[in-house]
């Protein structure tokens, strides 16, 4: 006797939200009402009458996901993490928030499936409780094997090598740079999701900020603005250590003198002005003058722009399991997923860097690349 | 300042090498220090004293080894007037550094005889107008220039302009703004690239015993 396959409404919702469609918009596209879509997403497992194959095929066509995608289980839980409270303070649209989360969830599921077939990365991200953010940042630097007061190049790579899953969403989402969470898996895994289209210095601050959440905020009780301020302080100390800044930011502070620091420390001019002010190196009024000058530029000039870094781990796993260069169709097929989307996601991640060693032989503590030293010969 | 004959100004800016960016940087710092002078004393900025402090701080900075390395000679005139002398190819560039007038324009009111004389360049009209091929043009033996700095109403530095006058009335042969000194700083292209000695992410495929089998996996789908 043939068994009836049961549609998973959660997958319908996921595909719809990834496409950025409202229930009404999807309904219109497939000739159904909004309430039908809502009902399908909410109750499909309890529906006495399953939707017809034609309806599912229409949804598959409109969302780009294969029909089989809608019949699979929901996969691992993926908490909202810092996205939960970030959105309360930003003007992020609800649709964008859902899209952002569903894309992160989809990538995490793909990665988690591949990770099960690979040796686990050691997680060296500390959980620090009861310390102020600057101390937490110093502890984190030490745990990651970074020198206490040197610039950190390749921050994203440093974070990945130390056990954080960093995934790139191949789209720009207004007002939203990234979010992070500890997954509900056993053991819990730290994950950071970043969006595309942001300058490199901004991306680095986002990474450091989200790392701060992972290190310090394991639950999100009240005082959400305080939590955000703590993550900012953590990021500032991680990227611009207090001792080094007192040594390097010398009066008179001008945009030009800060630009010289920017190219060494990989942070925005605005972040350097804020840091100078918070450390008492410049006064509130001096900071205001500098911000007025920055505002005249609109955005930082091209010669000061830092290219963003791409995460590597997802593509590395795909290469190990599906060959190099990776056939995106195989990854999409393994995950019953949208080929175009999987391709875009993989393209947002880094290829094996030319000349890189294949793997680490053992954990190293020489992760900081000195600027003055530049590159060593391979 | 209204840009005038900007093509000529750009050619001269190029011939001056690092000097324009240096003057911009020095004047930015001098303005910052002058503001700090009043702020530290909790005094409102005195509009008459302010430019004098700027010139004094600028003189000290221009005279410091860091900036002298650019290759100019500093000559201090009466009333803290600043004159830079820079030689390039067969031309001596004499550059006076002055503050813009209240409207941000080239200052033409109440010029001293010395400044009027500096503004006069009788040979300039022969070549300053209408020459198309500026790169090929040889500058005169001596070219007298101004770099004009300015602040906004809050005494924040707004930048510098290069100007060249034709006559004692301050009529401009050419003028254009000097790019911000931060424009001469360049981020390394490989800032976020992985250094060559870096290792790839340490994943290995699990074998049947649940341990890593090596650093490279083959295509499992084949």
CA–CA separation, A100 and A194 (whole Å): 9
Q: Is residue A378's pLDDT more than 50? A: no
Q: What torsion do the CA atoms of B13, B178, B121, B91 make, to the nearest 10 degrees?
A: -30
Specify the pLDDT at position B121: 87
* pLDDT band at A354; cut points 50, 70, 90: low
CA–CA separation, A107 and A193 (whole Å): 9
β-sheet bridge partners, residue B212: B206
Cβ of residue B138 closer than 8 Å to a chain A Cβ: no
Give the dihedral sign, CA A97/A99/A105/A108.
negative
Q: What is the mean pLDDT of residues A195-205?
A: 92
Query: What is the ipTM, given to two decimal places?
Result: 0.86
Give alpha helix (H) positions in B63-210: 65-68, 113-119, 125-128
Listed ranges A90-99, B7-16, B213-222; the one with the highest mean pLDDT: B7-16
- Rounded percentage of chain A residues whose pLDDT exceeds 90: 65
Q: Is residue B209's pLDDT more than 90? A: no
Q: Is residue B110's pLDDT more than 50? A: yes
| CA proximity to B27, closest of B178, B164, B174, B145 | B178
CB-CB contact of A373 with B196 (8 Å): no
Q: Is residue B40's pLDDT more than 90? A: yes
CA–CA separation, B6 and B22 (whole Å): 20
- Residue ranges of A 188-247 with Cβ closer than 8 A to chain B: 200
Strand runs (DSSP E) across chain A, as ranges? 165-169, 178-182, 190-195
Cβ contact, residue pair B199, A357, below 8 Å: yes
CA–CA separation, A39 and A43 (whole Å): 6
- Name the least confident of B60-69, B123-132, B186-195: B123-132
Q: Is residue A280's pLDDT more than 70? A: yes
* pLDDT band at A64; cut points 50, 70, 90: very high
Helix pair angle (A269-278, A224-239), 10° resolution: 100
Specify the pLDDT at position A264: 93
Query: Which carries the bigger pLDDT value, residue A96 or residue A32?
Result: A32
Specify the pLDDT at position A375: 36
CA–CA separation, A176 and A93 (whole Å): 10
Strand order in the sheet with A190-195: A165-169, A190-195, A178-182
CA–CA separation, A6 and A1 (whole Å): 16
Cβ of residue B150 closer than 8 Å to a chain A Cβ: no
User: Which of A255, A323, A375 lies nearest to residue B196, judging by beta carbons?
Assistant: A375
Specify the pLDDT at position B133: 56
* pLDDT band at A187; cut points 50, 70, 90: confident
Query: Which carries the bigger pLDDT value, residue B25 or residue A222?
Result: B25
Strand order in the sheet with B82-88: B73-76, B82-88, B91-99, B142-151, B157-165, B172-177
Total H helices, total E strands in chain B: 6, 6
Cβ of residue B48 closer than 8 Å to a chain A Cβ: no
Cβ of residue B192 closer than 8 Å to a chain A Cβ: yes
Closest-CA distance, B197 to chain A, in angstroms, reads 6
pTM given for the model: 0.87
State the greatest distance between any 2 C-alpha atoms of chain A, in Å, as a whole number: 83
For the stretch A331-343, pLDDT in tens is 999 989 999 999 9
Check whether the bond before A187 is cis (ω within 30° of 0): yes
Q: What is the mean pLDDT of residues A260-287?
A: 96
* pLDDT band at A144; cut points 50, 70, 90: very high
Specify the pLDDT at position A362: 42
């Amino acid at each position: 006797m043939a068994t009836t396959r049961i549609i998973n409404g959660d997958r319908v919702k996921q595909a719809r939200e990834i496409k950025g469609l409202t229930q009404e918009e999807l309904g219109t596209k497939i000739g159904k009402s909004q309430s039908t879509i809502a009902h399908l997403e909410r109750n499909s497992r309890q529906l006495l009458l399953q939707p017809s194959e034609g309806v599912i095929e229409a949804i598959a066509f409109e969302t780009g996901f294969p029909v089989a995608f809608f019949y699979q289980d929901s996969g691992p839980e993926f908490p909202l993490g810092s996205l939960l409270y970030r959105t309360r303070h930003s003007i992020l649209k609800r649709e964008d928030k859902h899209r952002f989360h569903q894309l992160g969830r989809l990538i995490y599921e793909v990665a988690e499936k591949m990770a099960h077939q690979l040796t686990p990365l050691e997680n060296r991200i500390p959980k620090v409780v009861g310390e102020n953010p600057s101390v937490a940042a110093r502890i984190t630097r030490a745990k990651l094997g970074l020198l206490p007061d040197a610039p950190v190049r390749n921050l994203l790579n440093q974070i990945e090598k130390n056990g954080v899953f960093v995934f790139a969403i191949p789209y720009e989402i207004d007002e939203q740079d990234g979010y992070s969470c500890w997954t509900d898996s056993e053991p819990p895994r730290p994950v950071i999701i970043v969006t595309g289209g942001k300058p490199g210095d901004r991306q680095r601050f986002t990474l450091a900020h989200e790392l701060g959440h992972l290190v310090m905020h394991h639950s999100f009780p009240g005082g959400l603005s305080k939590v955000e301020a703590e993550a900012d302080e953590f990021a500032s100390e991680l990227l611009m250590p207090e001792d080094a800044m007192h040594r390097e930011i010398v009066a008179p502070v001008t945009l030009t003198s800060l630009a010289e620091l920017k190219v060494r420390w990989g942070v925005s001019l605005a972040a350097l002005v804020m840091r100078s002010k918070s450390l008492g190196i410049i006064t509130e009024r001096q900071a205001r003058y500098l911000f007025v000058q920055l505002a005249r530029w609109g955005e930082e000039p091209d010669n000061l722009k830092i290219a963003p870094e791409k995460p590597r781990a997802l593509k590395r796993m795909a290469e190990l399991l599906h060959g190099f260069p990776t056939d995106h169709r195989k990854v999409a097929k393994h995950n019953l997923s949208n080929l175009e989307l999987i391709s875009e996601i993989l393209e947002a991640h880094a290829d094996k860097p030319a000349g890189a060693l294949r793997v680490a032989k053992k954990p190293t503590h020489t992760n900081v690349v000195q600027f003055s030293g530049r590159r060593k010969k391979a | 300042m209204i840009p005038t004959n900007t093509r000529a100004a750009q050619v001269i800016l190029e011939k001056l090498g690092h000097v324009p960016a240096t003057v911009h940087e020095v004047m930015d710092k001098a303005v910052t220090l002058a503001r700090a002078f009043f702020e530290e004393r909790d005094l409102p900025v005195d509009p008459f004293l302010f430019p004098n402090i700027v010139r004094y701080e600028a003189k000290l900075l221009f005279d410091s080894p860091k900036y002298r390395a650019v290759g100019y000679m500093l000559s201090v005139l009466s009333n803290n007037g600043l004159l830079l002398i820079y030689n390039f190819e067969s031309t001596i560039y004499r550059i006076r550094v002055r503050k813009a007038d209240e409207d941000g324009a080239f200052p033409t009111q109440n010029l001293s005889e010395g400044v009027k004389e500096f503004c006069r360049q009788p040979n300039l009209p022969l070549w300053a107008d209408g020459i198309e091929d500026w790169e090929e043009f040889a500058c005169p033996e001596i070219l007298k220039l101004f770099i004009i700095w300015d602040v906004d109403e809050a005494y924040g530095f707004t930048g510098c302009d290069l100007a060249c006058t034709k006559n004692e009335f301050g009529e401009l042969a050419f003028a254009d703004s000097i790019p911000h000194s931060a424009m001469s700083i360049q981020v390394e292209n490989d800032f976020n690239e992985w250094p060559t000695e870096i290792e790839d992410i340490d994943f290995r495929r699990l074998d049947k015993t649940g341990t890593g089998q090596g650093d490279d996996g083959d295509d499992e789908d084949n």
